[in-house]
Structure 1
Amino acid sequence: MEDESNFRNWAELIPDALGLIFNNLSIQDVLTVVPRVCKSWERAVVGPYCWQEIDIEEWSKNMPAEYVDRMLQLLITRSQGSLRKLNVTGVSNKDTFTLIANNAKSLQSLGLPRSDMDDVAVEELAEMFSNITVLDISYCNNMGDIALDAFGRHCKNLTTFRRAMHPLEVIDKVCQDDEALTIAASMPNLKQLEIPYMLVST
Protein backbone atom coordinates (compact mmCIF):
# COMPACT_ATOMS: atom_id res chain seq x y z
CA MET A 1 0.00 0.00 0.00
CA GLU A 2 1.41 3.35 -1.04
CA ASP A 3 2.47 5.69 1.74
CA GLU A 4 -0.42 8.04 2.55
CA SER A 5 2.10 10.80 3.21
CA ASN A 6 2.49 11.10 -0.58
CA PHE A 7 -1.06 12.35 -0.83
CA ARG A 8 -2.06 15.85 0.13
CA ASN A 9 -5.31 16.50 1.92
CA TRP A 10 -7.57 18.43 -0.47
CA ALA A 11 -8.89 20.43 2.46
CA GLU A 12 -5.38 21.86 2.90
CA LEU A 13 -5.03 23.21 -0.64
CA ILE A 14 -4.56 26.97 -0.85
CA PRO A 15 -7.67 28.92 -1.94
CA ASP A 16 -6.10 29.91 -5.28
CA ALA A 17 -5.61 26.25 -6.20
CA LEU A 18 -9.13 25.37 -5.10
CA GLY A 19 -10.47 28.22 -7.21
CA LEU A 20 -8.75 26.84 -10.31
CA ILE A 21 -10.16 23.38 -9.63
CA PHE A 22 -13.68 24.63 -8.98
CA ASN A 23 -13.65 26.56 -12.27
CA ASN A 24 -14.13 23.20 -13.99
CA LEU A 25 -17.44 22.62 -12.21
CA SER A 26 -20.86 23.98 -13.07
CA ILE A 27 -22.01 27.16 -11.36
CA GLN A 28 -24.72 25.16 -9.57
CA ASP A 29 -22.20 22.69 -8.14
CA VAL A 30 -19.84 25.43 -6.97
CA LEU A 31 -22.62 27.28 -5.17
CA THR A 32 -24.56 24.36 -3.71
CA VAL A 33 -22.39 21.22 -3.49
CA VAL A 34 -18.82 22.41 -2.91
CA PRO A 35 -19.56 24.45 0.26
CA ARG A 36 -20.94 21.32 1.96
CA VAL A 37 -17.75 19.28 1.55
CA CYS A 38 -15.65 20.96 4.23
CA LYS A 39 -15.04 24.32 5.91
CA SER A 40 -11.99 25.21 3.81
CA TRP A 41 -13.92 24.63 0.58
CA GLU A 42 -16.79 26.70 1.91
CA ARG A 43 -14.39 29.56 2.68
CA ALA A 44 -12.91 29.31 -0.81
CA VAL A 45 -16.34 29.55 -2.44
CA VAL A 46 -17.38 32.53 -0.32
CA GLY A 47 -14.09 34.33 -0.98
CA PRO A 48 -12.78 35.89 -4.20
CA TYR A 49 -10.65 32.98 -5.39
CA CYS A 50 -13.45 31.20 -7.26
CA TRP A 51 -14.80 34.35 -8.86
CA GLN A 52 -11.88 35.97 -10.64
CA GLU A 53 -13.37 34.47 -13.79
CA ILE A 54 -17.17 34.36 -13.99
CA ASP A 55 -18.60 32.56 -17.01
CA ILE A 56 -22.36 32.16 -16.73
CA GLU A 57 -23.16 32.77 -20.39
CA GLU A 58 -24.79 29.37 -20.99
CA TRP A 59 -26.60 29.39 -17.64
CA SER A 60 -27.99 32.88 -18.17
CA LYS A 61 -29.38 32.22 -21.66
CA ASN A 62 -32.53 30.59 -20.32
CA MET A 63 -32.89 32.49 -17.06
CA PRO A 64 -35.24 35.41 -16.32
CA ALA A 65 -33.49 38.77 -16.21
CA GLU A 66 -34.05 39.18 -12.48
CA TYR A 67 -32.29 35.84 -11.78
CA VAL A 68 -29.32 36.94 -13.87
CA ASP A 69 -29.16 40.27 -12.04
CA ARG A 70 -29.22 38.58 -8.63
CA MET A 71 -26.57 36.05 -9.62
CA LEU A 72 -24.26 38.80 -10.85
CA GLN A 73 -24.80 40.76 -7.65
CA LEU A 74 -23.80 37.70 -5.61
CA LEU A 75 -20.79 36.62 -7.65
CA ILE A 76 -19.32 40.05 -8.40
CA THR A 77 -19.58 40.97 -4.73
CA ARG A 78 -17.69 37.78 -3.86
CA SER A 79 -14.94 38.62 -6.36
CA GLN A 80 -13.98 41.59 -4.15
CA GLY A 81 -12.56 43.61 -7.02
CA SER A 82 -10.43 40.78 -8.44
CA LEU A 83 -12.70 40.03 -11.42
CA ARG A 84 -10.62 39.37 -14.56
CA LYS A 85 -13.17 37.78 -16.90
CA LEU A 86 -16.95 38.01 -17.17
CA ASN A 87 -19.27 36.33 -19.67
CA VAL A 88 -23.01 36.72 -19.22
CA THR A 89 -26.02 36.87 -21.51
CA GLY A 90 -28.89 39.32 -21.24
CA VAL A 91 -27.85 42.07 -18.83
CA SER A 92 -31.09 44.01 -18.82
CA ASN A 93 -30.76 47.07 -16.61
CA LYS A 94 -28.36 49.89 -16.01
CA ASP A 95 -27.95 49.12 -12.30
CA THR A 96 -26.40 45.75 -13.13
CA PHE A 97 -24.22 47.28 -15.85
CA THR A 98 -23.09 49.89 -13.33
CA LEU A 99 -22.26 47.12 -10.82
CA ILE A 100 -20.07 45.46 -13.44
CA ALA A 101 -18.40 48.78 -14.30
CA ASN A 102 -17.68 49.58 -10.66
CA ASN A 103 -15.88 46.25 -10.29
CA ALA A 104 -13.99 46.34 -13.59
CA LYS A 105 -10.63 47.57 -12.29
CA SER A 106 -8.95 44.21 -13.00
CA LEU A 107 -11.31 43.14 -15.79
CA GLN A 108 -9.58 42.04 -19.00
CA SER A 109 -12.27 40.08 -20.84
CA LEU A 110 -15.93 41.14 -21.04
CA GLY A 111 -18.73 39.31 -22.84
CA LEU A 112 -22.22 40.84 -22.75
CA PRO A 113 -24.10 39.23 -25.66
CA ARG A 114 -27.83 39.95 -26.00
CA SER A 115 -27.71 42.69 -23.39
CA ASP A 116 -30.12 45.63 -23.41
CA MET A 117 -27.63 48.40 -22.64
CA ASP A 118 -27.90 51.38 -24.97
CA ASP A 119 -25.55 54.05 -26.29
CA VAL A 120 -26.26 56.39 -23.38
CA ALA A 121 -25.36 53.83 -20.69
CA VAL A 122 -22.21 52.72 -22.50
CA GLU A 123 -21.04 56.28 -23.14
CA GLU A 124 -21.47 57.06 -19.45
CA LEU A 125 -19.63 54.00 -18.12
CA ALA A 126 -17.16 52.93 -20.83
CA GLU A 127 -14.21 54.62 -19.13
CA MET A 128 -14.57 52.14 -16.24
CA PHE A 129 -13.59 49.31 -18.61
CA SER A 130 -10.24 50.79 -19.62
CA ASN A 131 -8.24 47.59 -18.97
CA ILE A 132 -10.23 45.15 -21.10
CA THR A 133 -8.52 43.48 -24.05
CA VAL A 134 -11.43 41.27 -25.15
CA LEU A 135 -14.97 42.56 -25.74
CA ASP A 136 -18.06 40.75 -27.04
CA ILE A 137 -21.25 42.77 -27.56
CA SER A 138 -22.92 40.44 -30.05
CA TYR A 139 -26.67 40.78 -30.57
CA CYS A 140 -26.81 43.98 -28.49
CA ASN A 141 -29.36 45.73 -30.68
CA ASN A 142 -29.61 48.89 -28.56
CA MET A 143 -25.93 49.69 -29.05
CA GLY A 144 -24.79 51.58 -32.12
CA ASP A 145 -21.80 53.51 -33.33
CA ILE A 146 -21.90 55.82 -30.28
CA ALA A 147 -21.39 52.86 -27.92
CA LEU A 148 -18.67 51.42 -30.15
CA ASP A 149 -16.87 54.75 -30.21
CA ALA A 150 -17.08 55.02 -26.41
CA PHE A 151 -15.59 51.55 -25.95
CA GLY A 152 -12.91 52.28 -28.53
CA ARG A 153 -11.87 55.60 -27.01
CA HIS A 154 -11.68 54.32 -23.44
CA CYS A 155 -10.50 50.74 -24.00
CA LYS A 156 -7.15 51.39 -25.66
CA ASN A 157 -5.90 47.85 -25.03
CA LEU A 158 -8.63 46.11 -27.04
CA THR A 159 -7.19 43.34 -29.21
CA THR A 160 -10.30 41.19 -29.72
CA PHE A 161 -13.75 42.55 -30.59
CA ARG A 162 -16.86 40.56 -31.45
CA ARG A 163 -20.07 42.11 -32.77
CA ALA A 164 -22.11 39.29 -34.31
CA MET A 165 -25.65 40.10 -35.40
CA HIS A 166 -28.60 37.85 -36.18
CA PRO A 167 -29.63 38.16 -39.85
CA LEU A 168 -33.30 38.66 -38.95
CA GLU A 169 -32.41 41.50 -36.58
CA VAL A 170 -30.61 43.53 -39.24
CA ILE A 171 -32.98 42.80 -42.12
CA ASP A 172 -34.55 46.28 -41.90
CA LYS A 173 -31.23 48.12 -41.78
CA VAL A 174 -29.85 49.68 -44.96
CA CYS A 175 -26.26 49.24 -43.80
CA GLN A 176 -24.04 49.50 -40.74
CA ASP A 177 -21.14 51.31 -42.35
CA ASP A 178 -21.19 53.85 -39.52
CA GLU A 179 -20.35 51.09 -37.04
CA ALA A 180 -17.63 49.64 -39.27
CA LEU A 181 -16.01 53.07 -39.69
CA THR A 182 -16.18 53.65 -35.94
CA ILE A 183 -14.48 50.32 -35.25
CA ALA A 184 -11.73 51.13 -37.75
CA ALA A 185 -11.16 54.60 -36.30
CA SER A 186 -11.40 53.92 -32.57
CA MET A 187 -9.96 50.39 -32.21
CA PRO A 188 -6.59 50.53 -34.01
CA ASN A 189 -4.93 47.73 -32.03
CA LEU A 190 -7.39 44.95 -32.88
CA LYS A 191 -5.85 41.62 -33.80
CA GLN A 192 -9.12 39.71 -34.01
CA LEU A 193 -12.38 41.18 -35.33
CA GLU A 194 -15.61 39.21 -35.74
CA ILE A 195 -18.61 40.99 -37.28
CA PRO A 196 -20.73 38.23 -38.88
CA TYR A 197 -23.97 39.45 -40.46
CA MET A 198 -23.09 43.09 -39.94
CA LEU A 199 -24.33 44.93 -43.04
CA VAL A 200 -21.19 46.56 -44.40
CA SER A 201 -20.86 47.81 -47.96
CA THR A 202 -17.75 46.82 -49.90
Structure 2
Amino acid sequence: MDPSPAHPPGDLRNWLELPRDVTASILLKLGAIEILTSAQNVCSLWRNICKDPSMWRAVDMRNLGDLPYEYDFEKMCEHAVDRSGGELVDINIEYFGTDELLKYITESSSQLRRLRLVCCYSISDEGLSEAAEKLPLLEELDFSYCSLSKESLEAVGRCCPLLKSLKFNNQGYRRPRMECDEDALAIAGSMPELRHLQLFGNKLTDDGLLAILGGCPKIESLDLRQCFNVTLTGDLGRRCADSIKRLRSPCDSTSDYEFDAEIHDSGSFDDDFASVFSLSDGYGYFDSGGSDISDYDFFTEAFLNLD
Protein backbone atom coordinates (compact mmCIF):
# COMPACT_ATOMS: atom_id res chain seq x y z
CA MET A 1 0.00 0.00 0.00
CA ASP A 2 1.40 3.39 -1.04
CA PRO A 3 2.09 5.81 1.81
CA SER A 4 -0.21 8.80 2.05
CA PRO A 5 1.23 12.00 0.59
CA ALA A 6 2.54 14.54 3.09
CA HIS A 7 -0.04 17.00 1.85
CA PRO A 8 -3.39 15.76 0.50
CA PRO A 9 -4.21 16.75 -3.08
CA GLY A 10 -5.46 20.32 -3.18
CA ASP A 11 -3.67 21.28 0.05
CA LEU A 12 -1.39 24.30 -0.29
CA ARG A 13 1.66 24.82 1.90
CA ASN A 14 1.42 27.95 4.03
CA TRP A 15 4.85 29.50 3.71
CA LEU A 16 4.07 31.89 6.56
CA GLU A 17 4.23 28.94 8.94
CA LEU A 18 7.93 28.37 8.27
CA PRO A 19 10.27 29.23 11.15
CA ARG A 20 11.55 32.80 10.90
CA ASP A 21 15.18 31.74 10.49
CA VAL A 22 14.29 29.40 7.63
CA THR A 23 12.38 32.17 5.85
CA ALA A 24 15.32 34.54 6.37
CA SER A 25 17.71 31.97 4.86
CA ILE A 26 15.50 31.65 1.80
CA LEU A 27 15.22 35.40 1.34
CA LEU A 28 18.98 35.86 1.65
CA LYS A 29 19.47 33.76 -1.47
CA LEU A 30 17.56 36.34 -3.52
CA GLY A 31 20.09 39.15 -3.19
CA ALA A 32 19.72 42.81 -2.25
CA ILE A 33 18.06 44.05 -5.44
CA GLU A 34 15.40 41.32 -5.46
CA ILE A 35 14.63 41.90 -1.78
CA LEU A 36 14.25 45.67 -2.17
CA THR A 37 12.18 45.55 -5.34
CA SER A 38 9.95 42.53 -4.80
CA ALA A 39 10.35 40.12 -1.87
CA GLN A 40 9.69 42.67 0.86
CA ASN A 41 6.39 43.59 -0.80
CA VAL A 42 4.89 40.11 -0.43
CA CYS A 43 3.55 40.40 3.12
CA SER A 44 4.13 42.14 6.44
CA LEU A 45 6.11 39.17 7.84
CA TRP A 46 8.54 39.14 4.96
CA ARG A 47 8.86 42.93 5.10
CA ASN A 48 9.66 42.71 8.81
CA ILE A 49 12.33 40.07 8.18
CA CYS A 50 13.79 42.09 5.32
CA LYS A 51 14.32 45.05 7.64
CA ASP A 52 16.40 43.05 10.11
CA PRO A 53 20.06 44.32 10.08
CA SER A 54 21.32 40.73 10.01
CA MET A 55 19.87 40.43 6.48
CA TRP A 56 22.24 43.16 5.27
CA ARG A 57 25.64 42.07 6.55
CA ALA A 58 26.48 41.09 2.94
CA VAL A 59 25.10 43.23 0.10
CA ASP A 60 25.51 42.20 -3.55
CA MET A 61 24.35 45.09 -5.74
CA ARG A 62 26.05 44.12 -9.00
CA ASN A 63 24.15 45.14 -12.12
CA LEU A 64 24.90 43.16 -15.27
CA GLY A 65 22.75 45.36 -17.50
CA ASP A 66 19.70 43.09 -17.43
CA LEU A 67 17.74 45.11 -14.86
CA PRO A 68 15.20 47.90 -15.55
CA TYR A 69 16.68 51.33 -16.22
CA GLU A 70 14.24 52.95 -13.80
CA TYR A 71 16.16 51.55 -10.83
CA ASP A 72 18.48 54.05 -9.16
CA PHE A 73 21.11 51.62 -7.92
CA GLU A 74 22.99 54.20 -5.87
CA LYS A 75 19.88 55.08 -3.87
CA MET A 76 19.01 51.43 -3.44
CA CYS A 77 22.53 50.68 -2.24
CA GLU A 78 22.41 53.52 0.28
CA HIS A 79 19.14 52.12 1.57
CA ALA A 80 20.69 48.67 1.95
CA VAL A 81 23.62 50.17 3.87
CA ASP A 82 21.19 52.01 6.17
CA ARG A 83 19.36 48.78 6.90
CA SER A 84 22.60 47.07 7.92
CA GLY A 85 22.76 49.29 11.00
CA GLY A 86 26.56 49.35 10.88
CA GLU A 87 26.85 45.54 10.60
CA LEU A 88 27.87 45.50 6.92
CA VAL A 89 30.96 43.35 6.30
CA ASP A 90 30.76 42.53 2.57
CA ILE A 91 29.55 44.67 -0.36
CA ASN A 92 29.67 44.53 -4.15
CA ILE A 93 28.90 47.70 -6.13
CA GLU A 94 30.17 46.31 -9.42
CA TYR A 95 29.55 48.50 -12.51
CA PHE A 96 27.90 51.51 -10.82
CA GLY A 97 30.09 52.62 -7.91
CA THR A 98 31.02 56.30 -7.55
CA ASP A 99 33.16 58.32 -5.16
CA GLU A 100 30.02 59.61 -3.47
CA LEU A 101 28.56 56.14 -2.98
CA LEU A 102 31.84 54.74 -1.71
CA LYS A 103 32.04 57.58 0.81
CA TYR A 104 28.50 56.86 1.97
CA ILE A 105 29.31 53.18 2.45
CA THR A 106 32.57 53.65 4.32
CA GLU A 107 31.24 56.35 6.63
CA SER A 108 28.51 53.95 7.77
CA SER A 109 30.38 50.64 7.72
CA SER A 110 33.50 50.57 9.87
CA GLN A 111 33.34 46.74 10.06
CA LEU A 112 33.72 46.19 6.30
CA ARG A 113 35.93 43.21 5.44
CA ARG A 114 35.24 42.64 1.72
CA LEU A 115 34.78 45.24 -1.03
CA ARG A 116 34.28 44.71 -4.78
CA LEU A 117 34.47 47.71 -7.14
CA VAL A 118 34.86 46.10 -10.58
CA CYS A 119 34.29 48.36 -13.62
CA CYS A 120 33.55 51.38 -11.41
CA TYR A 121 34.94 54.07 -13.71
CA SER A 122 33.48 56.87 -11.60
CA ILE A 123 35.67 56.02 -8.61
CA SER A 124 38.86 58.07 -8.52
CA ASP A 125 42.21 57.63 -6.81
CA GLU A 126 41.23 60.36 -4.37
CA GLY A 127 37.86 58.74 -3.66
CA LEU A 128 39.31 55.30 -2.97
CA SER A 129 42.18 56.73 -0.92
CA GLU A 130 39.76 58.61 1.33
CA ALA A 131 37.58 55.52 1.66
CA ALA A 132 40.57 53.35 2.60
CA GLU A 133 41.21 55.55 5.64
CA LYS A 134 37.88 54.35 7.07
CA LEU A 135 38.48 50.64 6.39
CA PRO A 136 41.07 49.42 8.90
CA LEU A 137 39.52 45.92 9.00
CA LEU A 138 39.40 45.36 5.21
CA GLU A 139 40.71 41.90 4.24
CA GLU A 140 39.61 41.48 0.60
CA LEU A 141 39.54 44.07 -2.18
CA ASP A 142 38.75 43.77 -5.88
CA PHE A 143 39.06 46.99 -7.87
CA SER A 144 39.69 45.63 -11.33
CA TYR A 145 38.99 47.46 -14.59
CA CYS A 146 38.85 50.84 -12.89
CA SER A 147 40.67 54.06 -13.77
CA LEU A 148 42.93 53.80 -10.72
CA SER A 149 46.69 54.01 -10.26
CA LYS A 150 49.52 53.21 -7.86
CA GLU A 151 48.31 56.01 -5.54
CA SER A 152 45.22 53.96 -4.72
CA LEU A 153 47.28 50.83 -4.13
CA GLU A 154 49.61 52.68 -1.78
CA ALA A 155 46.71 54.23 0.13
CA VAL A 156 45.01 50.85 0.53
CA GLY A 157 48.24 49.24 1.70
CA ARG A 158 48.89 52.03 4.17
CA CYS A 159 45.37 52.18 5.62
CA CYS A 160 44.32 48.51 5.46
CA PRO A 161 47.03 46.53 7.27
CA LEU A 162 44.90 43.36 7.43
CA LEU A 163 44.46 43.09 3.65
CA LYS A 164 44.96 39.46 2.59
CA SER A 165 43.40 39.28 -0.87
CA LEU A 166 43.77 41.74 -3.75
CA LYS A 167 42.47 41.64 -7.32
CA PHE A 168 43.77 44.43 -9.56
CA ASN A 169 43.07 43.21 -13.09
CA ASN A 170 43.21 44.87 -16.51
CA GLN A 171 42.85 44.04 -20.18
CA GLY A 172 45.74 41.94 -21.47
CA TYR A 173 48.12 43.51 -24.02
CA ARG A 174 50.83 41.68 -25.93
CA ARG A 175 51.57 44.42 -28.48
CA PRO A 176 52.58 47.16 -28.35
CA ARG A 177 54.83 46.02 -25.52
CA MET A 178 54.56 48.29 -22.51
CA GLU A 179 56.47 47.70 -19.29
CA CYS A 180 55.52 49.29 -15.99
CA ASP A 181 56.36 48.12 -12.47
CA GLU A 182 54.62 50.95 -10.59
CA ASP A 183 51.70 48.78 -9.47
CA ALA A 184 53.98 45.92 -8.45
CA LEU A 185 56.25 48.21 -6.44
CA ALA A 186 53.28 49.81 -4.69
CA ILE A 187 51.96 46.38 -3.70
CA ALA A 188 55.38 45.14 -2.63
CA GLY A 189 56.02 48.20 -0.50
CA SER A 190 52.71 48.36 1.35
CA MET A 191 50.94 44.97 1.55
CA PRO A 192 53.10 42.53 3.53
CA GLU A 193 50.13 40.43 4.72
CA LEU A 194 48.84 39.48 1.25
CA ARG A 195 48.00 35.80 0.75
CA HIS A 196 46.16 36.01 -2.58
CA LEU A 197 47.02 38.31 -5.48
CA GLN A 198 45.49 38.47 -8.95
CA LEU A 199 47.12 40.80 -11.49
CA PHE A 200 45.49 39.62 -14.71
CA GLY A 201 46.76 41.65 -17.69
CA ASN A 202 49.24 43.75 -15.70
CA LYS A 203 52.32 45.33 -17.34
CA LEU A 204 54.77 44.33 -14.60
CA THR A 205 58.15 42.82 -15.49
CA ASP A 206 60.36 40.22 -13.82
CA ASP A 207 61.75 43.03 -11.63
CA GLY A 208 58.26 43.91 -10.43
CA LEU A 209 57.51 40.28 -9.67
CA LEU A 210 60.76 39.97 -7.69
CA ALA A 211 59.73 43.01 -5.67
CA ILE A 212 56.36 41.42 -4.88
CA LEU A 213 57.98 38.15 -3.81
CA GLY A 214 60.27 40.08 -1.50
CA GLY A 215 57.68 42.48 -0.07
CA CYS A 216 54.79 40.02 0.22
CA PRO A 217 56.40 36.83 1.60
CA LYS A 218 53.11 35.27 2.70
CA ILE A 219 51.55 34.99 -0.79
CA GLU A 220 50.02 31.56 -1.36
CA SER A 221 48.25 32.13 -4.70
CA LEU A 222 49.36 34.39 -7.54
CA ASP A 223 47.54 34.89 -10.84
CA LEU A 224 49.73 36.39 -13.58
CA ARG A 225 47.69 35.40 -16.61
CA GLN A 226 48.26 37.69 -19.61
CA CYS A 227 51.14 39.44 -17.81
CA PHE A 228 53.25 39.04 -20.93
CA ASN A 229 56.33 40.90 -19.65
CA VAL A 230 56.93 38.20 -17.02
CA THR A 231 59.07 35.24 -18.13
CA LEU A 232 59.06 32.90 -15.08
CA THR A 233 62.28 31.29 -16.27
CA GLY A 234 65.52 30.44 -14.48
CA ASP A 235 65.90 31.43 -10.83
CA LEU A 236 62.69 33.50 -10.86
CA GLY A 237 60.64 30.56 -12.09
CA ARG A 238 62.15 28.26 -9.49
CA ARG A 239 61.55 30.77 -6.72
CA CYS A 240 57.88 31.07 -7.67
CA ALA A 241 57.50 27.31 -7.87
CA ASP A 242 59.09 26.87 -4.44
CA SER A 243 57.24 29.63 -2.56
CA ILE A 244 53.78 29.86 -4.17
CA LYS A 245 51.23 27.07 -3.78
CA ARG A 246 48.92 28.13 -6.64
CA LEU A 247 50.56 29.93 -9.54
CA ARG A 248 48.81 30.93 -12.78
CA SER A 249 51.37 31.73 -15.47
CA PRO A 250 51.02 34.41 -18.21
CA CYS A 251 49.94 31.94 -20.89
CA ASP A 252 47.72 29.71 -18.73
CA SER A 253 44.13 29.07 -19.81
CA THR A 254 41.58 31.83 -19.18
CA SER A 255 38.56 29.55 -19.53
CA ASP A 256 37.59 30.05 -15.89
CA TYR A 257 38.12 33.83 -15.92
CA GLU A 258 34.83 35.69 -15.43
CA PHE A 259 35.52 38.64 -17.76
CA ASP A 260 36.39 39.01 -21.41
CA ALA A 261 39.97 37.74 -21.81
CA GLU A 262 40.56 38.93 -25.38
CA ILE A 263 44.17 39.95 -25.91
CA HIS A 264 44.80 43.35 -27.50
CA ASP A 265 47.68 43.16 -29.97
CA SER A 266 47.57 46.57 -31.64
CA GLY A 267 46.70 50.20 -30.99
CA SER A 268 47.52 52.31 -27.97
CA PHE A 269 46.71 51.27 -24.43
CA ASP A 270 44.98 54.57 -23.59
CA ASP A 271 42.64 54.26 -26.55
CA ASP A 272 41.89 50.61 -26.01
CA PHE A 273 41.34 50.86 -22.24
CA ALA A 274 38.14 52.78 -22.93
CA SER A 275 36.81 49.95 -25.03
CA VAL A 276 33.93 47.76 -24.06
CA PHE A 277 34.30 45.11 -21.36
CA SER A 278 31.88 42.23 -21.41
CA LEU A 279 31.19 39.22 -19.24
CA SER A 280 32.16 35.95 -20.81
CA ASP A 281 28.58 34.70 -20.62
CA GLY A 282 27.36 37.61 -22.74
CA TYR A 283 25.42 39.59 -20.13
CA GLY A 284 25.69 43.33 -20.50
CA TYR A 285 28.30 45.69 -21.91
CA PHE A 286 29.81 48.69 -20.18
CA ASP A 287 32.30 51.32 -21.30
CA SER A 288 34.42 53.87 -19.50
CA GLY A 289 32.65 56.85 -21.02
CA GLY A 290 30.13 57.15 -18.21
CA SER A 291 27.26 55.41 -19.99
CA ASP A 292 26.67 52.75 -17.34
CA ILE A 293 23.45 52.38 -15.40
CA SER A 294 24.37 55.01 -12.77
CA ASP A 295 24.03 57.76 -15.38
CA TYR A 296 20.28 57.22 -15.77
CA ASP A 297 18.27 59.67 -13.70
CA PHE A 298 15.44 57.31 -12.86
CA PHE A 299 14.30 55.83 -9.57
CA THR A 300 11.35 53.84 -8.31
CA GLU A 301 10.34 55.22 -4.89
CA ALA A 302 8.08 52.33 -3.88
CA PHE A 303 10.61 50.30 -1.94
CA LEU A 304 11.62 53.30 0.20
CA ASN A 305 8.06 54.00 1.23
CA LEU A 306 7.86 50.66 3.02
CA ASP A 307 9.86 52.04 5.96
Short-chain TM bin: 0.7 to 0.9
Distance 1:49 1:162, change over 3 A: same
Greater shift after overlay, 152-161 or 174-183? 174-183
Tell me, yes or no, if structure 1 residue 54 matches structure 2 residue 54.
Answer: no
C-alpha distance in 2 between matches for 1:17 and 1:108? 26
2:294 aligned partner: none
Distance 1:28 1:76, change over 3 A: closer
Q: 2:190 aligns with which of 183, 186, 191?
A: 186
Tell me, yes or no, if structure 1 residue 137 matches structure 2 residue 143.
Answer: yes
1:121 aligned partner: 127
Q: How does 1:27-176 map to 2 (within 5 A)?
A: 27-57=32-62, 59=63, 61=65, 67-115=72-120, 116-141=122-147, 143-167=148-172, 174-176=178-180
Give 3-state SS (helix, strand or coil) of 1:123's partner.
helix
> What's the RMSD between the two structures over aligned residues?
3.0
Q: Which runs of 5+ in 2 are unaligned?
A: 7-13, 207-307
Quote how far apart the aligned CAs of 1:62 are. 5.5
Moved over 4 A (4+): 8-12, 60-64, 170-173
Quote how far apart the aligned CAs of 1:12 are. 6.6
Letter of the 1:199 partner, please give it: K
2:300 aligned partner: none
Larger radius of gyration: 2
Quote how far apart the aligned CAs of 1:110 are. 0.5
2:29 aligned partner: 24
Instruction: Give deviations 1:122-161, integer Å, cap 9, x for gaps.
Output: 22231111111110000012x1111100001111111110
C-alpha distance in 2 between matches for 1:121 and 1:32? 29
Give aligned-pair identity as a percent: 24
Quote how far apart the aligned CAs of 1:172 are. 7.4
Distance 1:102 1:139, change over 3 A: same
Distance 1:159 1:193, change over 3 A: same
Q: Which runs of 5+ in 1 are unaligned?
A: 3-7
Distance 1:124 1:30, change over 3 A: closer
- Give the conservation status (yes or no) of the 8 Å contact 2:61–2:77: no
C-alpha distance in 1 between matches for 2:73 and 2:33? 13
Structure with the higher fraction of residues in helix conformation: 1
Give 3-state SS (helix, strand or coil) of 1:158's partner.
coil
Quote how far apart the aligned CAs of 1:73 are. 1.4
TM-score, scaled relative to structure 2: 0.56
- Give the conservation status (yes or no) of the 8 Å contact 1:109–1:132: yes
Distance 1:11 1:156, change over 3 A: farther
- Give the conservation status (yes or no) of the 8 Å contact 1:27–1:56: yes
Quote how far apart the aligned CAs of 1:111 are. 0.4
- Give the conservation status (yes or no) of the 8 Å contact 2:166–2:196: yes
Distance 1:166 1:120, change over 3 A: same
C-alpha distance in 1 between matches for 2:175 and 2:111? 38
Give 3-state SS (helix, strand or coil) of 2:141's partner.
strand
- Give the conservation status (yes or no) of the 8 Å contact 2:32–2:59: no
